[in-house]
A and B are shown apart, each in its own frame.
Chain A
Amino acid sequence: MTVTRRIVLTFPANLVEDTAIYHLIKDYDLIVNILRAKIIPKEGGRIVLELRGKVENIKKGVNFLESKGIGVKSLAQDIQLNEDRCVSCGMCMAVCHQKALSLNPVSWKIEFNRDDCILCEQCVTVCPLKVIQVSF
């Protein structure tokens, strides 16, 4: 079965020049889409990646990355919307091109669909109450 997964890779300083992504494509037959990347030579880096392929290939690919020492987390763990403090004003929706943030048409509460988020962080800077935090 072909599926799509979004993950965040954390590269330690010694692996910044590693060609891991090439191997994901070549060895594990995965379609790779880099959604966001921030790499600083000698310091480390992070990549937001979309992987498309067979479930078992994605699993094997992720194991391969981890075996090299690259941290792998699902996107959801990196972004937090503090629902207790959020007032559902809707200002974040203006900048969310992925439509990951939306107002529920019945409750009028902001809903955050993590699967659609690409961690662009636009909402983080726009939120007037600073209730959205990303650790990227």
Chain B
Amino acid sequence: MKTYEEINEKIKEGKAVVVTADEVCDLADAEGIKAVAEKVDVVTTATFGPMCSSGVFLNFGHADPPVKMNKVLLNDVPAYASLAAVDAYLGATAMSETEGIEYGGGHVIEDLLAGKVIRLEAEGYKTDCYPGEMVKAEITLESINQAILLNPRNAYQNYTAATNSSARTLHTYMGTLLPKFGNVAYSTSGQLNPLINDPEYRTIGLGTKIFLGGGVGHVLGEGTQHNPHQIRAVNKVPLSSAGTLMLMGDLKQMNPRYIRGATIKKYGVTLMVGVGIPIPVLDEGIAESVSIRDKDIFTTIYDYSVEKLSKPTYGRVNYQELRSGSVQINGNRVPANSVSSLFMAREIASILKDWIRRGEFFLVEPIQLLSRDTRFKNLPQKEGSKKDGLKL
């Protein structure tokens, strides 16, 4: 048994044993779980991929005369501005009013981070305290007061694999799905995935300090659509999309290598986010959880051609099979491709490991762990709803 204080003391002294979630598997195989619990202090996990539920809170500073901005465009991309006068939230999936999905919120975030000049246009209505009605300005990440990345749903604990039984090509958030089971797309860093290494949420929660986009960030708690009740295997790992995290960090100290605006063909704009989470090996239970391998992590293949919320499934596969490049569906070999980057996830796990080893990054014990009770619900429609009845 170890405590956060003891581990942090070791980090301070430069004596902490820190390994990545890949490396810990080799130690577990060679010496067993007990040895992992005794020898290892921290295991670093990571993921890098498209995470649509991401965005940034911005405070531009006041113009003279001041404007109560309620419509905001950044490089023609709309941001939500129904907040105080010069605050806005730019969502990753917002589309340019001139370029559509070819440029959007994710790209503005990446451009800000890369130090580029962003065109701000804002409108407001006149009040006694905000006499100005419009403002045009050129801003940079440095020129504005705050740019706080606040992502409502990141780092999914496992994710469904996608295929397509229909006769036409599908363009989805899982990328291109070729007709007649032409491919299977999957998106998880498997044995490196943060919440898969902490399947029962024993160490990750409000306050956990993390690597976010190349800088330091924090976990705020469960993310939206957090689904702890997803069906789980004997090893407690969910068999499909389950837990999620809400993450926050100061964009000003991030690195554009790990925050990337992206356009998924015929789907939309998104943000690729790099996340690294340290897991303290407090006891043998955690040592066992972090020693999980791709072959023991399963996901479920769903048919994305069925235009219903509930889609038919084509069995379960483990990540070792997916990474081999093909899986079996109905007795046939189907090529498998990822949509998240294991290459980048490994890089992040190893950077976080170095930060901790060098004594630059300490662990923070969460003040509240992730919920294990939240119920994941769908949205029942009002009967007889028709589009022309909408007020939109």
Contact = CB atoms under 8 A, between A and B. Distances in A.
Interface of A: 87-91, 93-95, 103, 105, 107-110, 125-126, 128-130
Contacts of B177: 94
B263 A90 contact: no
Name the residue in A93, A128, A130 with the highest tally of chain B Cβ atoms < 10 Å from its Cβ.
A128
Contacts of A110: 343
Given A95-B178, A103-B338, A128 B50 contact: yes
A91 B344 contact: no
Contacts of B185: 91, 94
Nearest to A84: B257
Interface in B238-281: 260, 262-265, 270, 272
Given A94-B337, A126-B176, 12 more contacts: A89-B340, A90-B341, A91-B175, A91-B264, A91-B339, A94-B176, A94-B178, A95-B178, A103-B338, A108-B343, A128-B50, A129-B260
A91 B266 CA distance: 13
Nearest to B266: A125
Contacts of A107: 343
A130 B342 contact: no
B383 to A, nearest CB: 39
A128 B287 CA distance: 37
B211 interface: no
A108 B263 CA distance: 22
B343 A93 contact: no
B272 A93 contact: no
29 contacts: A87-B48, A87-B272, A88-B342, A89-B49, A89-B50, A89-B338, A89-B339, A89-B340, A90-B337, A90-B339, A90-B341, A91-B185, A91-B264, A94-B175, A95-B176, A103-B325, A103-B342, A105-B325, A107-B343, A108-B341, A108-B343, A108-B346, A110-B343, A126-B175, A126-B265, A128-B50, A128-B263, A129-B260, A129-B272
Contacts of B338: 89-90, 93, 103
Nearest to A88: B343
Contacts of B346: 108
A89 B272 contact: yes
Nearest to A104: B343
Nearest to A130: B263
A42 B185 CA distance: 44
A90 B340 CA distance: 7
Contacts of A105: 323, 325
With most chain A CB atoms within 10 A of its CB, the pick from B50, B176, B260, B339 is B176
Contacts of A87: 48, 260, 272, 341, 343-344
Contacts of A109: 343
A14 to B, nearest CB: 36
B344 A88 contact: yes
Contacts of B340: 89-90
Contacts of A103: 325, 338, 342
B96 interface: no
B337 A128 contact: no
Interface string B312-334: 00000000000101000000000
* Among all A-B residue pairs, the 7 with the closest Cβ atoms: A128-B262, A90-B338, A88-B343, A93-B337, A91-B175, A108-B343, A108-B342
A128 B52 CA distance: 13
A127 to B, nearest CB: 9
B183 interface: yes
Contacts of A91: 175-176, 185, 264, 337, 339
A87 B176 CA distance: 17
A128 B344 contact: no
